Structure 1
Amino acid sequence: MNGSQGKLTTTQAVVIIVNYMLGAGILTLPRTTSKAVGTPDVWISIILSGFIILGVGIILVTLCRRFPEKTVFQFTREITGSWIAYILGLSMIMYFIVIAAFEIRVMAEVTGMYLLERTPTWVIVMVFMWIGVYMISGGLGVIVRVFEIILPITIIIFVIEILLSNQLFEIGNLRPVLGDGIMPVFQGLKPSLLSYTGYEVMLIMTAYMKNPKKSNKAMTWGILISTIIYLITVVMVIGSLSLDGIKTRTWPTLDLVRSFEIQGLIFERFESLLLVIWIMQIFSTTAITHYCASVGIRDLFRSKKIKGIMYGLLPFIYLTAMIPKTVDDTFVLGDMLGNVSVFLFGILPLVLLLLSLIRKKGGKHA
């Protein structure tokens, strides 16, 4: 499989979804949701968000299966006409570019704070950008193989470190359940939903699947795995650091890992190990969004040379990544992206699906 050639298995599609979802959001998810909810019921918001995103994801892949072997940038033209398709396509391309920039900026902030102190942010951004473009220039096959290496390592180390933190865990920090009613849970839906961005990658990847009929299965497993990891994270962080203890922490997940040590092991403190692994995870999100933006430009403007597009996007990603002046500005950018994603990938796929049915565009489900 190289570039647009070859086919993805269902398992590979799941790996791509999970790698995309588990980016920078997991480092801040406990803080953002706790501030919104204000009670220990954050974990309920995470579960509800998972079900909502699963429903949206099923609608999304149902749309894609009506147009076999075509990406969203190709089949939107058939549904809406050229001009609207160009507007929507360019909006999605800009979204993927900004997501790539946001993730790489967060990666640079975390790396500069914990691993490479006093290293200029622009240097870290440039290095990871060039590594990323080198990887994605090898095509989708190379990306998937790298993801298949990164994801199992990430999950194993993450679960081990979270479980080791149980020495700090107090179940009382998660009580009372629904003490202030159900409304605080609903208030936590928005920030938790924003952490689920990533399912939209199937708007492109469904076209490359060996068996598009199993795209529902891939979407379901991808969201389920991500939900479980998010749920474990939130429960362990709140249970260990308390609700009030995480509201003022920028990276509460990292602070949890830094708050304990195991005597006698090779790694007595684990934050550096978690950082290295999670930097690779954020790098994965940056890489796949850069690739999706490149595919979008190629398909929208019917170009044949995608490598030139990949390198051409580098200045735009770099400039966007350097726009935020502080970490707080970076988080504001992330919130903006989440709001945009609600329209582009929450509402729009349903509208396009209904239009395709009304106008009888596309075939039956592949």
Structure 2
Amino acid sequence: MEECTMLTEDKKITTFQTAVIISNCMLGSGILTLPRVLADSMKNSDGWLSLIIGGFLVMLAGLCIVKLCRRFPGKTIFQFSTDLMGKWLGSVFNVGLALFYIFIAAFELRVMFEVTTLYLLEQVPRWTILMAFIWVGLYIVLGGLGAIARLFEIILPITIVVFVISLLLSSKIFEIDNLLPVLGDGVFPVLKGVGSTVLVFLGHELMFILTPEMQQPEKAGKAVVMGITVPLFLNLIAFIMVIGGMSVHGAISSTWPTVDLLRSFEIKGLFFERFDFFLLVIWIMQILTTFSILQYTSSIGFAQTFRINNKPILYFSMPLIFIIASVPRDVNELLSFSGVFGEIGVSLFMILPPIMLLYAVIFKKGGVR
């Protein structure tokens, strides 16, 4: 069977497209739940500080990933892991990483279903929504990374405009007192809240597979910083407007506080008096981009580990993703998984990359010194 190979030079993605892919991957389910997660973790309104710190830490981790990839030109993490860890340990790491992406894709899929059935399609069977979404995602991924990047370039600007306008319109119920006092409980809650931001910023690790696919890999650092800045900006707006409009207690008591904020007011005289429906439609498009790049990354992982074409893997992963997405019995059980994924994400993509880079430098691994 044909082995999964790198893109040819004329099909490689630009620096801007790389940044767009990073941004799209990060703008998944987290933006709907982060205000609640941070407020519940910190019990105050200082989560915006945790977001800023978390965003910069993720940027540093992303730059470590880029630096590591630059030592192995033309190779993804699934190809140079064996150079760092040995054949067997590297292969086990690759399989575990690819499986992790399948689980994250299934998680995003199930979150999409829960939000859709709660606010939009109440009576539609679960299997109908899940399978339709999986098939659309498969269609996107089969087009390859170039097609994915071009689609993401269309969706991201729409997402930014709709999110910003929708959230800023909630200023009519915004109360600045809900965000005060700043650092009223000291610095410790802010540092505690940083860990809760990690799952929202998962996506920077895509540089492990995007760097060798770039036309100008020397600009990978610029791409990762640009890619993280957009989700950081949107999540900051979401958190500030949700806490300002609903208070810390209101955010904690809401499962999907960002949506509930937009459902709490109407603007008379406009074509759209309620913006939650419009936002959810755009958000579903955004979730589709997150799901598709996660599915693509997982398939590349298996394909490059076992040196086969990734298309059969994509078809095989469909029922697996469906089954995993169907496992949680309710929303509470589903959201409990996000904490587990966050802890795994911290280990894999925040702690491990600097260690791998340090190891590669000390033992002179890689073709670029």
Using the size of structure 1 for normalisation, the TM-score is 0.97
Q: Contact 1:206–1:215 (CA<8 Å) still a contact in 2?
A: yes
Partner of 2:108: 103
- Residue 356 of structure 2 is matched in structure 1 by 352
Counterpart for residue 40 of structure 1: 45
Aligned mates of 1:284, 1:56 — CA distance in 2:
23
- In structure 2, distance between residues paired with 1:3 and 1:215: 17
State which of 202, 224, 227 in structure 2 corresponds to 1:219. 224
Decide whether the 8 Å contact of 2:141 with 2:296 is kept in 1.
yes
Deviation at 1:359, TM superposition (A): 2.4
Deviation at 1:355, TM superposition (A): 2.0
Is the 2:41–2:192 contact (alpha carbons within 8 Å) kept by the matching residues of 1?
yes
C-alpha distance in structure 2 between counterparts of 1:332 and 1:203, whole Å: 27
Q: Deviations over 1:100-130 (max 9, x none)?
A: 1000000011111111111122221111001
**Structure 2 residue 315 is matched with structure 1 residue 311:** yes
**In the TM superposition, what are the counterparts of 1:11-30 in structure 2 within 5 Å?**
11-30=16-35
Where 1:261 maps in the other structure, the secondary structure is coil
In structure 1, C-alpha distance between the alignment counterparts of 2:182 and 2:362, rounded to whole Å: 45
Cα displacement string for residues 156-178 of structure 1 (whole angstroms, at most 9, x for unaligned residues): 01111111111111111100111
Q: Does 1:135 align with 2:150?
A: no
- For residues 334 and 280 of structure 1, the distance between their equivalents in structure 2, rounded to whole angstroms, comes to 21
| 1:324 maps to 2:328 | yes
How far apart are residue 54 of structure 1 and its match? 1.1
Question: After TM superposition, which residue ranges in structure 1, 4 or more long, deviate above 6 angstroms?
Answer: none
The aligned amino acid for 2:58 is I
Q: Any gaps of 5 or more consecutive residues in structure 1?
A: none
| 3-state DSSP of counterpart to 1:242 | helix
Q: Displacement, 1:351?
A: 2.1
Q: Counterpart of 2:313 in structure 1: which amino acid?
A: I
Aligned mates of 1:322, 1:26 — CA distance in 2: 22
Residues in 1 aligned to 2:185 and 2:342: alpha-carbon distance in whole angstroms: 27
**Distance (whole Å) between structure 1 residues aligned to residue 338 and residue 287 of structure 2:** 14
Per-residue deviation, 1:143: 0.8
> What is residue 192 of structure 2 aligned with on the other side?
187
Shift of 1:3: 7.7
Equivalents in 1 of 2:250, 2:322: separation in Å? Answer: 35
1-side partners of 2:126 and 2:171: how far apart?
34
> Equivalents in 1 of 2:179, 2:336: separation in Å?
28
1:4 aligns with 2:7: yes
d(CA) in 2 for partners of 1:49 and 1:331? Answer: 20
Q: Which amino acid aligns with 1:41?
A: D
* Alignment match, 2:250: 245
AA in 1 matched with 2:97: M
For 1:43 and 1:348, the matched residues in 2 are separated by 26
Please give the secondary structure, in 1, of the residue aligned with 2:225.
Answer: helix
User: In structure 2, what is the Cα distance between the partners aligned to 1:77 and 1:332?
Assistant: 33
Q: Is the 8 A contact 1:3 1:140 kept in 2?
A: no
Task: Give me the whole-angstrom Cα distance separating, in 1, the residues matched to 2:269 and 2:143.
Answer: 42
Structural RMSD (CA): 1.3
Which among 101, 111, 120 is matched to residue 125 of structure 2? 120
SS of the residue 2:51 aligns to: helix
1:196-207 equivalence runs, <5 A = 196-207=201-212
Q: Which moved more, 1:210-219 or 1:113-122?
A: 113-122
Q: Give the alignment partner of residue 159 of structure 2, picking from 150, 154, 159.
A: 154
Q: Which AA in structure 2 matches 1:100? A: A
Distance 1:246 1:363 in 2: 50
Q: For residues 190 and 352 of structure 2, what CA distance do their matches in structure 1 show?
A: 26
Where 1:219 maps in the other structure, the secondary structure is: helix
Counterpart of 1:339?
A: 343
Aligned partner of 2:266 among 238, 250, 261: 261
For residues 41 and 4 of structure 1, the distance between their equivalents in structure 2, rounded to whole angstroms, comes to 44
Q: What letter is aligned with 1:250?
A: T
**AA paired with 1:143?**
I
CA distance in 2, matches of 1:80, 1:339: 22
- Counterpart of 1:361 in structure 2 is 365
- Residue 61 of structure 1 corresponds to 66
Question: Identity of aligned pairs, percent?
Answer: 48
Alpha carbons 1:3, 1:139 under 8 Å: kept: no
Unaligned runs of 5+ in 2: none
Task: Name whichever of 343-352 and 155-164 sits farther off.
Answer: 343-352
Hey, what does 1:93 align to over in structure 2?
98
2:230 and 2:152 map into 1 onto residues whose CA distance is: 15
CA distance in 2: counterparts of 1:53 and 1:269, whole angstroms: 35
Letter in 2 for 1:332: S
User: Is the CA contact 1:17–1:201 (under 8 Å) kept in the aligned structure 2?
Assistant: yes
Deviations 1:259-304 (A, max 9, x none): 111111111111110000001111111100000000001111111x
Which residue among 165, 174, 177 is the counterpart of 1:169?
Answer: 174
Q: What's the counterpart of residue 77 of structure 1?
A: 82
